[in-house]
Amino acid sequence: MTTTFTIAVIAPSLLNTNGDAENARVLARRAEWAGETATIVAVEVASDLPERPDAVVIGSGSDSALVPARDLLLEIQDQLRVWSTSGVPILAVGTGWELISWGVERAVGGVVEGLGILAGRGVPRRERASGDLVLSSRFGRIVGFENHARDYVGAEGSPLGRVLSGSGNGRDSSQEGVVMGDVIGTHLHGPVLAKNPALADHLLTSMFERRGLVYQRGERAASVDDYAVAARNQILTGLGLDAD
């Protein structure tokens, strides 16, 4: 008997500018490679929401998507709140992160209120931060790419990691992201879980535990992770940092 994991991805038609919604695919594949099955449910309207997801992914979108994405999130906020406090891993990237925080202060157009699930909020920064971003964290070094026009303030209590290279949350905080249990908010866009298998496997371990299973990285995952190591090392050495 295999267990079928359900991964909900919120509004991928609005929030997938940099492939951040594809982190759902990374979780699903790794669950399959560990011998189970997985389905990805795209939640474009509130009624798409699965009853008991094993993980939730919220990607990043353009500023024109802020209000429509927030309106969808408002409709499902009760469930998100319950899951966030009951140990369901939630990965929120960029705009998606800002929308489950206290909210977004836009340079033009005022404030977009968030759901308030995570502490802190997005505030305009002088220049767009765009480039490689490397952190030290309890999951080891996290390597990825950031591209955002806002800083994030109010995450000082529990960041995802310390910035080794790049901008991160900004405002001289030297920190990046915010973590509350297994709810993670980050500027690291795109397939952050593919490039950081340790972070992916941390979330998978939680997902498996909640189903009474023990997660063990599959054989295929191990060989794919060799590509991740090579991709990471290329970025790390390019920044003058030590390779993994």
Q: Which CB atom, from 33 or from 139, has the smaller least distance to other proteins?
A: 33
Give min distance, CB of 231 to other proteins, in A.
4
Q: Which residue has the tokens 């397939």?
A: 191
Q: State yes or no: residue 17 binds other proteins (CB under 8 A).
A: yes
Q: Which CB atom, from 16 or from 186, has the smaller least distance to other proteins?
A: 16
Q: Which CB atom, from 117 or from 146, has the smaller least distance to other proteins?
A: 146
Cα dist from 206 to 28, 82, 86, 181, whole Å? 14, 16, 11, 10
How many residues in the chain? 244
| Core vs surface per residue 38-52: b (16+ CB within 10 A) or e | bebeebeeeeebeee
Give min distance, CB of 126 to other proteins, in A.
16
Task: Check the annotation: does 211 bind a ligand.
Answer: no
Strand order in the sheet with 183-186: 37-43, 4-10, 55-58, 90-93, 183-186, 178-180
Count interface residues toward other proteins (CB under 8 A): 26
Which amino acid belongs to residue 21? Answer: A
Q: State yes or no: residue 95 binds other proteins (CB under 8 A).
A: no
Q: State yes or no: residue 62 binds other proteins (CB under 8 A).
A: yes
Which amino acid belongs to residue 35? Answer: G
Beta strand residue intervals within 71-182, DSSP E? 90-93, 103-105, 111-113, 121-137, 140-153, 161-165, 175-176, 178-180
The site map against other proteins for 215-244 (x = CB under 8 A) is ---------x--xx-xx--x----------
Catalytic residues: 189
Looking at residues 145 to 204 of the shown chain, list those that interact with other proteins (rule: CB under 8 A).
145, 147, 189-191, 194-195
Among 14, 16, 56, 173, binds other proteins (CB under 8 A): 16
**Three-class SS state of 178:** strand
Q: Given the rule CB under 8 A, which residues bind other proteins?
A: 12, 16-22, 25-26, 29, 62, 64, 145, 147, 189-191, 194-195, 224, 227-228, 230-231, 234
Q: Which residues are annotated as a binding site for substrate?
A: 128
Q: Which residues are annotated as a binding site?
A: 128
